Structure 1
Amino acid sequence: MTRILIADDHELLRDVLRSYLEAEGGFSVVTVADLDGALAAIAAGPAFDLVLLDYDMPGMNGFSGLETAIAASGDCPVALMSGLAPTGVTDRVLGAGAAGYLPKTLPAKSVVNAIRFMAAGERYMPLDLGRPASTEAGPGLSPREREVLAGLCAGHANKEIARDLGLREPTIKLHVKLICRKLGARNRTHAAMIARERQLC
């Protein structure tokens, strides 16, 4: 069971997020209304697999609340969410060592996938907020995505790629989906074709 802590001062949003996750199955969700509540829940244990903090809720004081929660959470990933992207969110979130940034404007399915992704130990950042990448690094591909892409180019199935990289198969599926979006590919085969044409693998 994946334990998620959602901290947001809007009761409706907390309830909706919890409903989404519990409907997916495999999630145990705790909700609180402010940073103090989040810190208390983290301290009380047992450990969460992901802590999700609203940028604007009481006690946060912007990014300083994120840094406080990260310091208190130990090895547990902590991510930020907001209705509007704060200025410099990409650099500040990644620089603080957070698991990522989750816009509240994302579709429900994308929210669930992003939460599952971060709870698995990966980082999530919406494509339109990501840093521009050099041409050598490919179109915004992270080092992990390039490893997965190499597996696609080699014709490996998700299960094989997961085994080779020491990851879970659902995590590989999410990477493949993001790779296809970044490359403008219709599917994994098309992604491998584009990668070979651009000499990305």
Structure 2
Amino acid sequence: MTGAHKTGAAEPALTIIIADDHPLVREALGQALRQAMTGVEVVGAADLDGARAALDARESVDLLILDLDMPGMDGFAGLAAVRSSHPAVPVAIVSSTREPATMRRAIEFGAAAFVPKSAAMETIASALQSVLDGEVWLPPEMEGGDTAMPDDFARRISELTPQQLRVLTLLSKGKLNKQIAHELSVGEATVKAHVTAILKKLGVRSRTQAVIAARHFSV
């Protein structure tokens, strides 16, 4: 992933935007990310407009963290707007609510994770790392029946785009994101976006489950 920064220092390995109207929350999340990941640049924003400005100002952003209740969000409208304008950037919702219906709706509107603010910082950092790896994350209590394949799995596979099918096939062969990006002549961010979309369409939570299902259906 190429960056646009031209400084004497080494460029950050990851750029993460944290958008929350509470400064202490931004600081705590930023500290947790810096402790869990090396070479991370954390950019803060206090509202949705600030988050979108930070996205527009950078050539490459690896993750956007959004508070569902901050100014400008208007429920899920803000999430949908960001996903529409920056589809390659994964979005993680970090919110004080633990309502299962709200969590599911967030995923339906394009979020790659819904992480309760009440979770331990280690759990939050682990969840965000899962998103960076291209997976979908929800709290453990939302994972009931996680290993079961949906009854209409064949139909779900048929709804994948040709490029998503190619990515899933390469995942099934054990290829890493970097290898898939090279083989398809696209960026790693694009591959991650495809993987996230594949997991959502197939109704699974991890790359491993997607691969098991793909092999079962001989994709």
Residues of 2 paired with 1:75 and 1:50: CA distance? Answer: 9
CA contact (8 A) 2:17 2:65 kept: yes
Aligned to 2:123: 110
Task: Tell me the distance in 2 between the aligned counterparts of 1:126 and 1:27.
Answer: 24
Query: Which residue number corresponds to residue 142 of structure 1?
Result: none
Equivalents in 2 of 1:162, 1:20: separation in Å? 33
| Residue in structure 2 matched with residue 16 of structure 1 by the alignment | 28
2:97 corresponding residue in structure 1:
84
Q: Which runs of 5+ in 2 are unaligned?
A: 1-12, 151-170, 179-219
CA RMSD of aligned residues (A): 2.5
Offset at residue 45 of structure 1 (A): 1.0
Distance 1:50 1:56, change over 3 A: same
For 1:62, the equivalent position in structure 2 comes to: 75
Aligned-residue sequence identity (percent) comes to: 34
Deviations 1:132-173 (A, max 9, x none): 4388439xxxxxxxxxxxxxxxxxxxxxx99825259xxxxx
TM-score, normalised relative to structure 1: 0.65
Shift of 1:50: 0.7
- The answer on whether the counterparts of 2:21 and 2:70 sit within 8 Å (CA) in structure 1 is yes
Q: Does 1:75 align with 2:88?
A: yes
Structure 1: unaligned runs, 5 residues or longer: 139-160, 169-201
| Alpha-carbon distance between aligned partners in 2 of 1:109 and 1:94, rounded to the nearest angstrom | 22
The alignment of Structure 1 onto Structure 2 pairs a total of residues equal to 145
| Structure-2-length-normalised TM-score | 0.60
**Aligned partners of 2:29, 2:147: CA distance in 1, in Å?**
37
Give the equivalent residue in structure 2 for 1:199.
none
**SS at 1:70 equivalent:** helix
**Residue 117 of structure 1, CA deviation:** 1.1
Counterpart Cα distance in 2 of 1:23 and 1:136: 35
Match of 1:164 among 174, 197, 200: 174
SS of 2:72's equivalent? Answer: coil
* 2:97 partner letter: L
| Structure 1 residue 27 displacement after superposition | 1.5
Find out whether 1:44 has 2:73 as its counterpart.
Answer: no
* SS at 1:88 equivalent: helix
Deviation at 1:22, TM superposition (A): 1.5
Preserved contact between residue 92 and residue 128 of structure 2 (Cα < 8 Å)? no
What code does the residue aligned with 2:118 have?
T
Letter in 2 for 1:137: M
Q: 1:44-65 CA distances to partner (integer Å, 9 max, x unpaired)?
A: 1122111010011000111111
| Per-residue deviation, 1:121 | 1.5
Question: Does the residue aligned with 1:20 lie in a helix, a strand or coil?
Answer: helix
Amino acid at match of 1:79: A
Q: Distance in 2 between matches of 1:40 and 1:79?
A: 18
Aligned equivalents of 2:61, 2:174: Cα separation in 1: 27
Structure showing greater relative contact order (alpha-carbon pairs closer than 8 Å, 6 or more residues apart): 2
Give the Cα separation in 2 of the matches to 1:11 and 1:27. 19
Shift of 1:108: 1.0
Give the letter aligned to residue 124 of structure 2. V
Which residue identity is paired with 2:24? Answer: L
* TM superposition shift of 1:100: 1.3
Counterpart position of 2:19: 7
